[in-house]
Amino acid sequence: MERLSLDISDVWLARKRIASLIKKTPLVKSTELSRCAGCPVYLKMETQHEIHAFKVRGAANKILSLNQKERARGVTTFSTGNHGMAVAWVASRLGIPAVICVSRRVPAAKTEAIQRLGGRLHIHGESQDEAEAECVRLEREEGLTVISPFDDPWVIAGQGTIGLELLEDLPELGSVIIPLSGGGLLSGIGLAVKTNRPTSRIIGVSMEGPAVMHYSLKKGKTLVMPERTTLADSLLGGLGTDNRYTFHMVGDLADQTLLVSEREIAEGIAFMLNHHRTVVEGAAATTIAAILSRKFKPDPQPVVLILSGANLDPSTLFQAVRMAANHTKDPV
Ligand SMILES: *Cc1c(COP(=O)(O)O)cnc(C)c1O
């Protein structure tokens, strides 16, 4: 079975490989969330990478594993934004050409950022799957290497370096709550954390509606679902036409997957602004929502929330804060 070819040593190798490009991110205790949950709650600040999202880890590990010929031909990817930014950023650091294929649904803040980072932008189709098809064409016709956003052992191992950092900073951790889309983030962190601390709990959170991984796990097979507008736009996208790693890995590693509503995500964004003076995007706010909504059932063990990114349009931020203010008594 191909999925068994990835293990904890790949995560350690990833950590060494990406060390020159990626700095360790802080782990911050949240007094307010600890009070709400009744147990210590920590925030892993993946918002603090130069591109404000964790995806640089996987992209760096994958691109640094390419040989000289592959680097010279260049790389390409399809992405809801953060992965595209990550590939553009890593490639430009290493002097490698990068073509980023995105669907028309990707917010302007993200496409502009990709171009600023030196990526060549290809806007194609209405969904991730259409952008993916364009990407495959570039691979076939121009010989570029496709950097997959999640279903790739190097990408998964790169995201897993977050898990190693958590074990260093909080060896007594109990649960890790992780935003869940394609599942590369959860697979990597789950592999690193569960290998070293088998009693820990790994929880995936997605938005209600097009939570493809959540429903696929329930059905026992990968599903295709229509996309729709959500505050957690970084969690949009399918599992790929031929998922080889993350569907099985998330199935093995996740103890539970939860869904949160748009209103709960908005409240998560507003909460971070209010109590931590920090901007997070909707995808990251799903983890705050899991605590505030009490959908996550805490035990006395410390909980870590993965704040996966902070890339959102100002207009979306205002919309979220307004949505939250209309539903809470506290003035935001
Ligand atoms: C990509 C992304 C996720 C989800 O990661 P997967 O590996 O696709 O599950 C979560 N949050 C942010 C900010 C992302 O960019």
Going from N- to C-terminal start, the domains of the chain cover 8-53+152-325, 56-146
8 A C-beta contact, residue 193 and residue 169: no
What b/e sequence results for 99-127 when a residue is b if at least 16 CB atoms lie within 10 Å of its CB, and e otherwise? bbbbbebbbeebbebbeebebebbebbeb
Q: How far is the CA of 330 from the centre of ligand 1 (A)?
A: 30
Q: At what angle do helices 212-219 and 246-253 cross, to 10 degrees?
A: 80
8 A C-beta contact, residue 87 and residue 175: no
* Tokens read off for 178: 């992780």
- Predicted TM-score (pTM) of the model is 0.94
Q: How far is the CA of 258 from the centre of ligand 1 (A)?
A: 15
Per the rule left: phi > 0, alpha: psi between -120 and 50, beta: everything else, 213 is alpha
H or E element, residue 156: helix 153-169
CATH number for the 8-53+152-325 domain, one of 3.10.20.30, 3.40.50.280, 3.40.190.10, 3.40.50.1100? 3.40.50.1100
Q: How far is the CA of 207 from the centre of ligand 1 (A)?
A: 12
H or E element, residue 205: strand 201-207
Residue nearest to atom 7 of ligand 1 (CA): 184
Unique residue bearing structure tokens 């070819």: 5
* Sheet order of strands, 145-146 included: 120-123, 98-102, 75-78, 145-146
Output the ligand 1 site: residues, CB below 6 A. 53, 55, 82, 150, 179-186, 234-235, 281, 283-284, 308-309
Q: How far is the CA of 45 from the centre of ligand 1 (A)?
A: 14
Give pLDDT tens digits along the chain (332 positions). 344 579 999 999 999 999 999 999 999 999 999 999 999 999 999 999 999 999 999 999 999 999 999 999 999 998 768 998 999 999 999 999 999 998 888 778 778 888 899 899 889 888 877 888 888 999 999 999 999 999 999 999 999 999 999 999 999 999 999 999 999 999 999 999 999 999 999 999 999 999 999 999 999 999 999 888 999 999 998 898 789 999 999 999 999 999 999 999 999 999 999 999 999 999 999 999 999 999 999 999 999 999 999 999 899 999 999 999 987 655 44
Q: How far is the CA of 196 from the centre of ligand 1 (A)?
A: 23
* Number of the ligand 1 atom closest to the C-alpha atom of 181: 9
CATH annotation of 56-146: 3.40.50.1100
First vs last C-alpha separation in the chain: 51
Torsion of CA 145, 102, 204, 302, to 10 degrees: 90
